[in-house]
Amino acid sequence: MSAFGVTFRRELALLWGGGGALAPLGYFFGATMLVPLAMGPDRALLQTAGPPLVWIAAALAVLAMLERLFQSDLEDGSLDQMLLSPAPLELIVLAKGAALWVGIGVPLALAGAPAAIALQAPIERLPLIVFSLALGAAAFIGVGLVGAALTASVKRGGVLIALIVLPFFAPPIIFGAAVASGEDVVAALSILGGCALGAAALGPIAAAAALRLQAE
């Protein structure tokens, strides 16, 4: 199997094998649960505020996954081996990102459906919410790779990652929440797709450049 294939398989196995993917899902549900507790159960209020808040919860759940993403590889020496592989590091980082998307991003998008129902979103909008969340997760993970790579050598860098990455979350959040709220759906969805594509293409390149420096 290729370097991309084995990296993808290994990362996915490590994500799910350790039960690690359950934690961000639980975090996601926990965060959405707090919303009605803070705002009150008023149906009309939840209907307008609910879908955007699902987006915030998804962004936070991805953010929580980033701290250890490359830090463990740096500490246990795996990063050196990735660098010595004949395959380009960009490809290996892309494989890690793809595994994260399949292992965490897509489950989060699917979990967006029950969360949105609980927050009184109209049923007919659910497919759109799930689809846009899947695109948004790709964008979050793409820029998240860069943040995680830049802070791989920083101990307890969780807060710093958030600070670095949050400005990059602004565009996908804007267009994603617009899709979820049913505002100007076609335009917002196509721009969101552009964000996801751009982040998935540029993220691994910038992250690999940062990781080469971290290994020195």
Partner 1 sequence: MSARGPFQDKPSLRVEGLTLSRGGRVLFEDLSFAAGPGAYVEVQGSNGSGKTSLLRAIAGLLRPRGGRIEFDGVEDQALSLHYLAHANALKREASVRDHLRYWAGLFGGAPSEDFVAQMLDLGRVMKLPVRVLSQGQARRLALARLVVAPRPVWLLDEPAAALDDAGRAVLNELIASHRANGGIAVAAVHEPLGVAPSLVVRVPR
Partner 2 sequence: MFAFLANPARFMAFSAWATPVLFVGALVLFVVGIPWALFYSPADYQMGDTARIMYVHVPAAWWSMGVFAFMTGASFVGLVWRHVLADVAARAAAPVGAVFAGVCLITGSLWGAPTWGTWWEWDGRMTSMLVLFVTYLGYIGLWASIEDEERAARLTAILCLVGAINLPIVKFSVDWWSTLHQPASIMRSGGSAVHPSMLGPLLTMAGAYLLLFGALTLMNMRATIFRRRVESAAMRKAQS
Burial of 204 (0-12, 13-18, 19+ CB in 10 A): buried
Burial of 173 (0-12, 13-18, 19+ CB in 10 A): buried
Q: Is 170 in the site for partner 2 (CB under 8 A)?
A: yes
Minimum gap (Å) between residue 12 Cβ and partner 1: 12
CA 141 to chain centre: 4
CA distance 56 to 44: 19
Binding to partner 2 by CB under 8 A, coded x per residue (else -) over 119-158, reads ------------------------x--x---xx-xx--x-
Nearer to partner 1, 54 or 73 (CB): 73
CA distance 212 to 216: 7
With CA atoms as reference, report the closest residue to 4 among 125, 90, 78, 118: 90
Nearer to partner 2, 53 or 178 (CB): 178
Q: Is 49 in the site for partner 2 (CB under 8 A)?
A: no
- Choose from partner 2, partner 1, none: what does 184 bind? Cβ within 5-8 Å by kind: partner 2
The single residue among 22, 45, 80, 127 that binds partner 1, judged by CB under 8 A, is 80
| Torsion sign over Cα 63, 64, 69, 71 | positive
Six-digit token pair at 202? 């540029």
Q: Is 168 in the site for partner 2 (CB under 8 A)?
A: yes
Binding site for partner 1 (CB under 8 A): 1-3, 5-7, 10, 13-14, 17-18, 75-78, 80-87, 92, 215-216
Q: Which residues bind partner 2 (CB under 8 A)?
A: 143, 146, 150-151, 153-154, 157, 160, 163-168, 170-171, 174-175, 178, 183-184, 191, 195, 202, 206, 209-210, 213-214, 216
